Chain A
């Protein structure tokens, strides 16, 4: 094998750049989000502000209108002394805003500048409330509201440290979502494995018809999950769904509407749809593993007097172990991340009974635009996924890198 020179590193550079921008940087970014009260729909929280910031646009606009309104109202302030203090106020605003006049957007400010603005706000508030009692100003009410924007142009830090994590630990909805995710993953992967293994064993023996079965198995795997979910949504329909009607008839459920409208029914329905979609995939992976087991081993086993059951447990299973572990690992991770299927089929309903972590995270981030809290839920998923992967690789010995 050759040593790689600088030219060789150009070969992996594009991959590294893509992974860095679209996989690693977002993970770090998501992690950062978790420490902030980060909400896109709230002007004061729509960024990550470790320090307080200052919205110059808002401040400059406010200064412009406050001075204009005050000047307009000057004739209404009949007392000469008051008129003078109004003029002083106008000058003061001009003076403070002069230093920000050429600036745009959100900037950092010093504590001193902040005090100055707070001071300006307090003084202007007092003055206007005094005037409003004494005189009838044209812009009296507007001025009160406008002056508040002096204060609002100071954006406080939205760094909240570990608060979101603390909230998530006590959030019942997170507990339910985590439980739903684990339940969905364990049950669906268990059935996929049992059915997949049985199918692979039969297919390994069958000589004719493998092509047909392979093609048929690939279709559920290949169609988009969203399409499969919608299809099952129709079959499960309480009034017109043929599968729901069938289940009612054989007594599996009491009423055909229970399938999507009761908590246990909806969970059962999503698991069944997932098992339908991925059992064939599992079978294909296991079949590939089975086909690498040399038949001479079975012949030798038969000579030594091993029965069918014995040779399954003594020959097939041990030799199939690597394939089984790899298939289980990828299926477990996939099931744990389930999104499309549930999003389209039940959207987490009814009443949150099928809401998994990814659905909850999606709703928090894109429904409530709460990126901070949504990212915490995503981080919980990330940790779980890492634990699952470590368990499979370290303790069960799934050797993913053996080929390289």
Chain B
């Protein structure tokens, strides 16, 4: 029995090591390639593990000529603004759903759930026309349609969190004469802070990664976010892998930092109520 357990354990460790290798290898290889010279990437040295003549050329080109910094700036603006207003709007409605009794509550919940299942393509065409009519294409107004991909998830996670907070505190606040809004922001919000923070991170990542709306509504390079800007490095006839790998390395760093700092919150957000993304 012990021997069998030992074998199982060894197998488990082997699987985990293989898994970790599979997860990390693509990043590692991209990182290595980003320091190679063009000659090495497209020559006999394509599969070298250690670059022959390490160079930072790819990084300087991508940073100073291809506008990656501008894309990172756009992504920060768009993702931050989306996170702030979505959290505000979602907190209000999640609080109402969790605390008040009203007609059509289940309809509202069902609607929010249904919206999170919509194919994103279905809103893109009409929103494109709307933005053309209003002259909002190529602007930061794009944060508004980002609500379709982030708001349902945010409301869903927040409702789960609010449901876990005991009612007693709010009731005593009410006795002391606090209005619903005061109760929400003075009593519930601080208690729900971890949940709100978790939601904010999930919303931020979703907004940061958005692709379809940006590529259709903001065709102007000046407004490209990271995912779109990076996809444009891949042109039909010449793919400059050195630059692609350098750009990939640069844009992975913010994500890496967020994940390492907030992994517990992210996992909590992902798994609460079986919510996606």
Measured CB to CB, the residues of A under 8 A from B are 1-4, 7-12, 14-16, 18-19, 21-27, 29-30, 33, 198-199, 202-203, 205-206, 209, 211-220, 222-227, 229-235, 237, 239-240, 242, 245, 276, 280-281, 284-285, 288, 322-323, 326-327, 330-331, 333-334, 336-337, 339-340, 343-344, 358, 361-362, 365-366, 371, 374-375, 378-379, 381-382, 385, 389, 400-401, 403-404
Contact = CB atoms under 8 A, between A and B. Distances in A.
Interface of B: 12, 15-16, 19-20, 22-24, 26-27, 29-30, 33, 41-42, 46-47, 88-90, 92-93, 95-102, 106, 108-115, 117-130, 144-145, 147-148, 151-152, 155, 159-160, 163, 180, 205, 208-209, 211-212, 216, 226-228, 230-231, 233-234, 239, 241, 244-245, 248, 251-252, 255-256, 258-260, 263, 266-267, 270-271, 273-277
B215 to A, nearest CB: 8
B276 A226 contact: no
B163 A404 contact: yes
B248 A227 contact: yes
A216 B106 CA distance: 38
A20 to B, nearest CB: 10
B263 A218 contact: yes
Given A227-B251, A285-B270, A400-B274, A381 B122 contact: yes
A280 B23 contact: yes
Contacts of B252: 219, 223, 227
The B interface, classified by DSSP as helix, strand, loop or mixed, is helix
12 contacts: A8-B96, A12-B108, A21-B144, A22-B145, A219-B23, A222-B255, A223-B251, A225-B211, A235-B26, A285-B270, A385-B118, A404-B159
A339 B89 contact: no
B102 A198 contact: no
B271 A285 contact: yes
B274 A327 contact: yes
Contact of A215 (B97, B100, B263): B263
A378 to B, nearest CB: 5
Contacts of A7: 180
A21 B130 CA distance: 10
A14 B89 contact: yes
A231 B26 contact: yes
Max chain A C-beta neighbours (<10 A), residue from B101, B160, B233: B101
B227 A19 contact: no
A385 B241 CA distance: 37
Contact of A226 (B228, B270, B273): B228
B227 A226 contact: yes
A225 B226 CA distance: 11
B111 A19 contact: yes
B97 A8 contact: no
B148 A330 contact: no
Given A8-B180, A240-B46, A327-B274, A18 B89 contact: yes
A232 B252 CA distance: 14
A235 B29 contact: yes
9 cross-chain pairs, A with B, having the tightest CB-CB distances, nearest first: A326-B274, A288-B271, A29-B126, A4-B100, A11-B96, A226-B227, A26-B123, A26-B126, A15-B93
A339 B120 contact: yes
A177 B96 CA distance: 42
B203 to A, nearest CB: 13
B2 to A, nearest CB: 14
Contacts of B208: 224
Nearest to A19: B115
Given A11-B93, A219-B255, A234 B33 contact: yes
B121 A404 contact: no
B276 A12 contact: no
B89 A15 contact: yes
B84 to A, nearest CB: 13
Contacts of B180: 7-8, 11
A12 B16 CA distance: 45
B273 A27 contact: no
Max chain B C-beta neighbours (<10 A), residue from A227, A229, A284, A340: A227
Contact of B118 (A25, A27, A224, A234): A27
B158 to A, nearest CB: 11
A26 B109 contact: no
A319 B192 CA distance: 29
A57 B84 CA distance: 45
